Amino acid sequence: KNEVEQSPQNLTAQEGEFITINCSYSVGISALHWLQQHPGGGIVSLFMLSSGKKKHGRLIATINIQEKHSSLHITASHPRDSAVYICAAQTSGSRLTFGEGTQLTVNP
């Protein structure tokens, strides 16, 4: 079993829908990261959080430390949100352990 598990692996939505991607981890962490990988391959850091909730535009990330679970929400989804979303647990020092990613496709 991987230390970081994401669900679903693939997600298809219609434009405007509310989207949730889940991440569960089995190790102690100092922070949980959410990243976005564009279709062209580039990787961008979206959020880093160690408690509570963070919001940036239409993206919201939450974490429940007791349950070892984090969620990434996208409100009013748009085709440009189509990408792979990756969850990563910061464990030892600055090292990250990554989930396999969730491929999101938003259709117009």
Provide the binding-site residues for another protein, judged by CB under 8 A: 30-31, 33, 35, 41-45, 48, 50, 86, 88, 90, 93-96, 98-101
Q: Pairing between strand 10-14 and 102-107? A: parallel
Closest CB to another protein among 50 and 64? 50
Whose tokens are 């279709």? That residue is 39
Question: Cβ of residue 89: shortest distance to another protein, in angstroms?
Answer: 12
Closest CB to another protein among 31 and 60? 31
Closest CB to another protein among 19 and 35? 35
The string of DSSP codes covering 2-41 is -SEEEE-SEEEEETT--EEEEEEE-S--SEEEEEEE-TTS
Question: Cβ of residue 61: shortest distance to another protein, in angstroms?
Answer: 12
CB count in 10 Å sphere of residue 7:
12
